[in-house]
Amino acid sequence: MAVYTQVSDDALEAFLDGYDIGRPRSFKGIAEGVENSNYYLETGQGRFILTLFERRADPKDLPYFIALKQHLAARGFPCPAPVPARDGAPLQTLEGRPALVVTFLDGLSPKRPNAAQCRSMGEALARMHAALSDFVQVRENALGPASWPLLWEGRSQTAEELQPGLAALIEDDLAETAKARPQSPHLPRGTIHADLFPDNAFFLDDKFSGAIDFYFACTDALAYDLAVCLNSWAFEDGREYNYSKGAAMIAGYESVRPLEEAERAVLPLLCRGAALRFFMTRLVDWTDTPADALVRPKNPLEYADRLAFHRQAKSAADYGG
Amino acid sequence: MAVYTQVSDDALEAFLDGYDIGRPRSFKGIAEGVENSNYYLETGQGRFILTLFERRADPKDLPYFIALKQHLAARGFPCPAPVPARDGAPLQTLEGRPALVVTFLDGLSPKRPNAAQCRSMGEALARMHAALSDFVQVRENALGPASWPLLWEGRSQTAEELQPGLAALIEDDLAETAKARPQSPHLPRGTIHADLFPDNAFFLDDKFSGAIDFYFACTDALAYDLAVCLNSWAFEDGREYNYSKGAAMIAGYESVRPLEEAERAVLPLLCRGAALRFFMTRLVDWTDTPADALVRPKNPLEYADRLAFHRQAKSAADYGG
């Protein structure tokens, strides 16, 4: 929740000279996103978001993310549409950082999504998967199962300090998800968002109006995307699974694309894996974030609680599916 | 540069139900201002800024600031116009904090104002003083000369650590400005902004388009407001006085309201006082801000350098006036 890079008057002027979107009428840093600097930019031609990519973004991945958003926008799926500069390229440079202008999306991110929003999100997720079914570019999931043991390396002590007994449970989660990995290639695969938390989705009232922040998008099991959403949308106060919200989300998804039997069978495992992925990255941030950082790390324990739910789940039915 | 208070979905909904401005279409935290939480709010009826007043704002002062902005807006001076709720009151409550909706202002804050912008700012400052000439409410300048020795109390050691020899110079500044205080009541007085830094002013190209952040506004010498602006607009890289920018600002001001001879005579002293005021509050923030704070304190030494310039200035002519 910060703006890391300040943009000088001259740099902004020179940057916008490269675009055909008019003179700036407003330019404000947005306290949104934890990885990049985002600015609200208004010109005579409309409202835009200007993103400066900071250190965590790998520049070689950016063309993939941009192509993905262009693909979605071309198919009418609501997402920030990259705006190309006069030279035809959407990716430019500003203040020494890769910079991208995208169209502004109407909508509000729910802090505490209701069941109607969960349903609308599930439906939109399946529509997004459908819209991406002919997107041919491939990107490996850098935070897939293979990465989890690496992230875990040397952090069991921290986990124990957060909650005594947690390390052994996590070791077990890692073993179980590793054992089950061979099943995963048989699931329907495609391009997934992989980080579609409520703060990356917009709604007008209870109707989904757009998704943002595609910077973890990758090629993986489609049902894993649903598992990420169930983790981030259907738990109350971070810990209690809300059956009706989960059921609404799955029903919304299946109204567009019914889950296959194989997907339903491994949904608990996918949910457990998704919880493990966010537990791991939060654990890393928790230990690695300097005390004086602008962004406070999120507590990993929320995901430890969710893991406890997933460990005892037997099938999609336990999630309301 | 932060958003301190998060607004829940339900709280925002209930809050906006009290207004006649339509349903929200966008709601984003703005990384602007260091004292309060600000949100960009868009509804079917337009763009607004929603401010939640945090701890530093004294609730009993808020009606004064709101009345001041209403007064300016009614006279056509571009500033955020308070939007009253259905009950007629502009000041409401949200998430337990005093909350205010104001109209959105077009324009960009210059990071490094040019001479044309300084001229436009000077002219606007005089227009603002004129628009406020019939504003009858009075508020004492809480950060006027009487406050400086109190802020200085016990901080000479910190000043010495920042720059050896600085404490003695500051003691001298305090003595000189205290000695000169009796002159001040004879200067033309009125309502001043008292904090019109470049980040509190908006421009469309080089033309002033509005002023924001009136939370230090008070009743004081009008020329002191110009002194604050000369300090914050006319120094290059924080230290070197830019004669042409200063001259442009003074000329802009005088194109609307020529300075009186008494004002011209004490301009160096007013500038010295203004520099002292910002040096003192920055020194306090410098020592009092915890290392893990969301907002990094600004270095007080910038103002120590400006004080050095003001100490040797003899008259308005030294500022280009």
The pLDDT-based confidence of A57 (bands split at 50, 70, 90) is confident
Same domain, yes or no: A66 and A142 = no
| Assigned domain for B1 exists | no
- Last residue of one domain, picked from the residues B103, B131, B158: B103
| Assigned domain for A41 exists | yes
The pLDDT-based confidence of B186 (bands split at 50, 70, 90) is confident
Query: What's the mean per-residue pLDDT of chain B?
Result: 93
Query: What per-residue confidence (pLDDT) applies to A31?
Result: 85
Which residues pair with residue B204 across a beta bridge?
B207
- Name the residue among A6, A25, A31 with its Cβ closest to that of B111: A6
Length of chain A: 321
Query: What per-residue confidence (pLDDT) applies to A78?
Result: 98
Q: Is there a contact between B31 and A26 if contact means CB atoms under 8 Å apart? A: no
- B261-288 and B222-233 helices, crossing angle to 10°: 60
pLDDT average, residue stretch A201-205: 97
Residues A108, B176: Cα–Cα separation, whole Å: 55
Same domain, yes or no: B137 and B257 = yes
Report the percentage of chain A scoring pLDDT > 70.
95
**Higher-pLDDT residue of B3, B312:** B312
Query: What per-residue confidence (pLDDT) applies to A55?
Result: 78
CA distance A26 to chain B (A): 5
A237 part of contact set with chain B, CB < 8 Å: no
| Assigned domain for A129 exists | yes
Query: What per-residue confidence (pLDDT) applies to A1?
Result: 44
| Closest by CA position to A2, among listed A26, A28, A27, A36 | A36
| Assigned domain for A87 exists | yes
Same domain, yes or no: A41 and A134 = no
Q: How many domains are contained in chain B?
A: 2
- Name the residue among A26, A31, A110 with its Cβ closest to that of B29: A31
* A159 Cβ contact list (under 8 Å, min separation 6): A166, A167, A170, A283, A300, A304
Question: To probe the interface with B, which of A42, A294, A295 has the most B CB atoms within 10 Å?
Answer: A294
In A, which residues are within 8 Å of B117 by CB distance? none
Q: Is there a contact between A111 and B8 if contact means CB atoms under 8 Å apart? A: yes
Same domain, yes or no: A178 and A89 = no
Checking if the pLDDT of A294 tops 60, the result is no
Please spell the DSSP secondary structure of B217-256, one letter per residue: -EEEEHHHHHHHHHHHHSEETTTEE-HHHHHHHHHHHHHH
| Assigned domain for A2 exists | no
Same domain, yes or no: B65 and B190 = no
Checking if the pLDDT of A92 tops 60, the result is yes
Same domain, yes or no: B269 and B148 = yes
Query: What per-residue confidence (pLDDT) applies to B4?
Result: 80
Please spell the DSSP secondary structure of B74-142, one letter per residue: HTT--SPPB---TTS-SEEEETTEEEEEEE---BB--SS--HHHHHHHHHHHHHHHHHTTT-------T
CA distance B297 to chain A (A): 12
Query: What per-residue confidence (pLDDT) applies to B280?
Result: 96
List the domain range (segments joined by +) for residue A278: 115-319
Residues A115, A320: Cα–Cα separation, whole Å: 12
In B, which residues are within 8 Å of A294 by CB distance? 294
Checking if the pLDDT of B87 tops 70, the result is yes
Same domain, yes or no: A20 and A159 = no
| Closest by CA position to A131, among listed A234, A200, A211 | A211
Checking if the pLDDT of A199 tops 90, the result is yes
Same domain, yes or no: A26 and A55 = yes
pLDDT tens string B244-276: 999 999 999 999 999 999 999 999 999 999 999
Q: β-pairing, B201-204 with B207-211?
A: antiparallel
CA distance B31 to chain A (A): 5
Checking if the pLDDT of A20 tops 70, the result is yes
Q: Where are the beta strands (DSSP E) in chain A?
A: 24-30, 37-43, 46-52, 91-94, 97-103, 189-192, 201-204, 207-211, 218-221, 235-236, 240-241
Same domain, yes or no: B134 and B270 = yes
- Last residue of one domain, picked from the residues A81, A103, A125: A103
- Name the residue among A3, A42, A110 with its Cβ closest to that of B31: A3
- Chain A contacts in chain B segment 88-107 (CB below 8 A): 104, 106-107
* B154 Cβ contact list (under 8 Å, min separation 6): none
Same domain, yes or no: A125 and A95 = no
CA distance B292 to chain A (A): 4
Least confident of A25-34, A276-285, B148-157: A25-34
CA distance B291 to chain A (A): 6
The pLDDT-based confidence of B130 (bands split at 50, 70, 90) is very high
CATH number for the domain that contains residue A315: 3.90.1200.10
Question: Is B108 within 8 Å of B203 (Cβ atoms)?
Answer: yes
Query: What per-residue confidence (pLDDT) applies to B56?
Result: 74
Least confident of A115-119, A209-213, B56-60: B56-60
| Assigned domain for A3 exists | no
pLDDT tens string B172-185: 999 999 887 766 66
Checking if the pLDDT of B25 tops 90, the result is yes
For chains A and B, CB pairs below 8 A equal 87
Question: To probe the interface with A, which of B111, B203, B233, B298 has the most A CB atoms within 10 Å?
Answer: B111
Report the percentage of chain A scoring pLDDT > 90.
85
Checking if the pLDDT of A183 tops 90, the result is no
| Assigned domain for B2 exists | no
CA distance B313 to chain A (A): 30
Number of H helices, E strands in chain A: 10, 11
Same domain, yes or no: B96 and B179 = no
Joined tokens for residue B96: 């337990």
- Last residue of one domain, picked from the residues B75, B103, B131: B103
Same domain, yes or no: A128 and A203 = yes
pLDDT average, residue stretch A279-304: 81
The pLDDT-based confidence of A32 (bands split at 50, 70, 90) is confident
Checking if the pLDDT of A291 tops 70, the result is no
CATH number for the domain that contains residue B31: 3.30.200.20
CA nearest A207 in B: which residue? B25
**Higher-pLDDT residue of A170, A5:** A170
| Assigned domain for B211 exists | yes
HSE, CB side, 13 Å, CA atoms: give it for residue B283.
Answer: 28
Least confident of A9-23, B228-242, B277-291: B277-291
- Chain B contacts in chain A segment 148-187 (CB below 8 A): none
pLDDT average, residue stretch A221-245: 94
Query: What per-residue confidence (pLDDT) applies to B1?
Result: 44
Tokens 């209690």 correspond to: A240
